[in-house]
């Protein structure tokens, strides 16, 4: 009798595991990176995401385990992310930004490395607002923004 109960239990457990794996696949697939070309130079207006009250736009391209990649366009107030590291690659625009305790000039082609807890933003564009690719790791939680003076 115990052999029958054990065998039935093993078969039921195996079947349940297969069923759960099959049902979870769509959720796991949402975190898969897709091969693609994103023509950031051609993106304008709402293609860059909806503008907030100060005209800043942001649109996420990729969200994977441990990181996100997005495009950002416009001015942001001086702030910091206590728990998120950020790397920005400047695509367009020249201006002055806060990085740590100083203002620095950035231009297209610059790579800005911002460790978590570092004051940033508050840019002063010289002409066109700054447009950059932003890589955040780990992905930024909604409450991981602290506005600074």
pLDDT digits (tens, 9 = 90+) for 80-126: 999 999 999 999 999 999 999 999 999 999 999 999 999 999 778 88
Query: H/E element holding 8?
Result: helix 2-29
Could you tell me the pTM of the whole model? 0.75
96 Cβ neighbours under 8 A, 6+ residues apart: 103, 104, 105, 106, 123, 124, 126
Q: What residues does 79 pair with on adjacent strands? A: 120, 147
Spatial contact of 92 and 127, defined as CB atoms under 8 Å apart: no
Spatial contact of 138 and 82, defined as CB atoms under 8 Å apart: no
């Amino acid at each position: 009798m115990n052999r029958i109960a054990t065998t039935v239990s093993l078969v039921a457990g195996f079947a349940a595991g297969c069923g759960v794996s099959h049902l979870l696949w769509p959720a796991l697939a949402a975190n898969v990176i897709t091969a693609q070309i994103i023509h950031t130079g051609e993106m304008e207006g709402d293609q860059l995401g909806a503008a907030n009250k100060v005209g800043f736009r942001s649109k996420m391209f990729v969200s994977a385990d441990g990181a996100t990649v997005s495009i950002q366009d416009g001015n942001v107030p001086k702030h910091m992310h206590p728990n998120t590291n950020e790397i920005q690659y400047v695509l367009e625009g020249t201006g002055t930004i806060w990085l740590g305790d100083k203002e620095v000039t950035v231009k297209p082609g610059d790579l800005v490395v911002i460790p978590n807890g570092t004051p940033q933003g508050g840019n002063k564009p010289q002409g066109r607002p700054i447009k950059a690719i932003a890589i955040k790791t780990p992905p930024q939680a909604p409450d991981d923004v602290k506005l600074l003076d």
